């Protein structure tokens, strides 16, 4: 294996170690038989990255390959395990990204598992659209987005926030990060929406703890490929932003909603 190939593999595909120990919530399924193509594909990934956490293996749209989602990355592996490809798979007829479609389908299914009760929701009385936003209370663009929440709601869009502290759950010292603690306090507040809004204005919430979903939501973000905040997802699982102004968000959600536009 050439040095160039290995560097490409490690940096583009299997820079998986950073998110490995974090996606622990996948449903347990019986392992495939040792001689099946799926088993060979799994063995290929594990041979290249022994600590990889494989979340999904399914047949790829192109014959002879499998699509593998592993710790926030999507790669293609040949059924015989000889080839691993990292990149965008394009439908040559339609000109659309099959990789984006695969991610959207996977993300939609995973996000649907998060109860609304574990999200912080800002919604108009009768929303036409819903977006899910992984957010950090300290990131500048997250604060700008939330400062426009009334305008976003006025466009008929409900915003459902999930916690994603950018500094992680624990620091190098093994202790919870300050941002993680702050977000736990928000999710544990008696009025989460108010505590969230005040934190977006730079006001620290009253320190408190409870049984909360912050770590699980952070882990989910890593599993879905979140690398920064805000990360905005439409109802079909497509990531439409980054920060989006209210009118930009409306156009994006129309494009990716069954409600149409």
Cα separation, 180 vs 54, whole angstroms: 26
Nearest to 120 by CA among 103, 137, 140, 138: 137
From 55, 136, 143, 219, the catalytic residue? 136
From 142, 143, 188, 219, the catalytic residue? 142
Specify the 3-state DSSP secondary structure of 115. coil
Nearest to 180 by CA among 193, 196, 163, 195: 163
Q: Sign (positive/negative) of CA torsion 168, 173, 179, 184?
A: positive
From 42, 139, 143, 188, the catalytic residue? 139
Pairing outcome for strands 239-241 and 157-163: unpaired
**Active site includes 42?**
no
How many other CB atoms sit within 10 Å of the CB of residue 204? 14
Cα separation, 59 vs 47, whole angstroms: 20
**Active site includes 55?**
no
**Active site includes 142?**
yes
From 42, 166, 188, 219, the catalytic residue? 166
**Active site includes 10?**
no
Residues with a catalytic annotation lie at 136, 139, 142, 166
């Amino acid at each position: 294996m050439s040095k160039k190939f290995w560097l490409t593999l490690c940096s583009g595909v299997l820079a998986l170690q950073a998110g490995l120990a974090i996606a622990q919530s996948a449903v347990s399924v019986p392992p495939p038989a040792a001689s099946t193509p799926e088993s060979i594909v799994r063995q290929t990934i594990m041979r290249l990255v022994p600590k990889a956490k494989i979340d999904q293996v399914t047949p790829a749209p192109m014959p002879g390959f499998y699509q593998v989602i592993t710790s926030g990355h999507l790669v293609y592996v040949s059924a015989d395990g000889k080839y691993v490809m990292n990149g965008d798979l394009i439908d040559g007829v339609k000109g659309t990204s099959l990789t984006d479609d695969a991610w959207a389908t996977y993300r939609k299914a995973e996000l649907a598992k998060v109860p609304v009760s574990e999200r912080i929701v800002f919604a108009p009385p009768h929303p036409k659209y819903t977006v899910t936003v992984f957010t950090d209370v300290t990131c500048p663009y997250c604060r700008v987005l939330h400062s426009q929440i009334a305008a976003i709601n006025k466009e008929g869009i409900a915003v459902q926030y999930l916690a994603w502290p950018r500094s992680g759950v624990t620091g190098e010292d093994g202790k919870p990060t300050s941002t993680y603690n702050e977000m736990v306090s928000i999710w544990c507040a008696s009025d989460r929406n108010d505590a969230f809004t005040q934190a977006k204005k730079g006001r620290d919430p009253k320190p408190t703890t409870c049984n909360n979903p912050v770590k699980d939501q952070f882990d989910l973000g890593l599993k879905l490929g979140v690398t920064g905040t805000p990360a905005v997802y439409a109802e079909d699982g497509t990531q439409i932003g980054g920060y989006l102004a209210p009118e930009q968000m409306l156009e994006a959600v129309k494009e990716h909603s069954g409600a149409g536009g």
